[in-house]
Homo-oligomer: A and B are copies of this chain.
Amino acid sequence: VSPVESTARTPVATGATGLDELETRAWRSFLKSHAEIVGALDRELVAAHGITLGEYEVLAFLSEAADRRLRMCDLAGRVLISPGALTRRLTSLVARGWVERMPCPRDARVTYAVLTDEGLERLEVAAPTHVEGVRRHFVGRLGRTDLADLASALEKADAGPVT
């Protein structure tokens, strides 16, 4: 059989020493589902409440914390962004009166981000939209068993260094 000209070739990025079909399927579906789900949730939250998914997450984590407050560095870890990015994300929330900055009395290096009463109200108004979105786009499409398997698989992925 002679090679066909001008057609698709063996994928260089996944061939030879590359990923097999199943590995590629898992990797691509991971990237694609994330982009689509996160994109949809963000757009829906912005359209319904004028709040981004990133801002929502800040409010949500603060609402679950003791005294509705968290150190900046801890909050950055929860919302999965760098310290610098959190400083900027907070600026807009502080300007709207939903979060306050409070210096820590015991350690002058740390700043607390504190959820205000108004911020809590906004979160409570937006929460149903977000929860419904997570169900509609993600968890609601999977059975309980699939969901449990998915969670444990993703918790294994990148859980600490291989070393």
A residues near B (Cβ < 8 Å) are 6-9, 11-14, 17-19, 22-23, 25-27, 29-38, 40, 56, 59-60, 63-68, 80, 120, 123-124, 127-128, 130-131, 134-139, 141-142, 144, 146-151, 153-159, 162
Contacts and interface: CB of A to CB of B under 8 A. Distances in A.
Contacts of A144: 22
Contact of A131 (B14, B22, B29, B33): B14
A52 to B, nearest CB: 14
A27 to B, nearest CB: 6
A76 to B, nearest CB: 12
Nearest to A37: B158
Contact of A18 (B22, B56, B131, B137): B131
Nearest to A155: B29
23 contacts: A7-B66, A7-B67, A8-B64, A11-B63, A12-B60, A12-B63, A13-B56, A13-B63, A14-B60, A19-B134, A19-B135, A22-B151, A23-B139, A26-B142, A29-B151, A30-B154, A33-B157, A34-B34, A35-B80, A37-B157, A137-B158, A138-B157, A138-B158
Judged by DSSP, the binding face of A is helix
A35 B34 CA distance: 10
Contacts of A149: 146, 149-150, 153
A151 B25 contact: yes
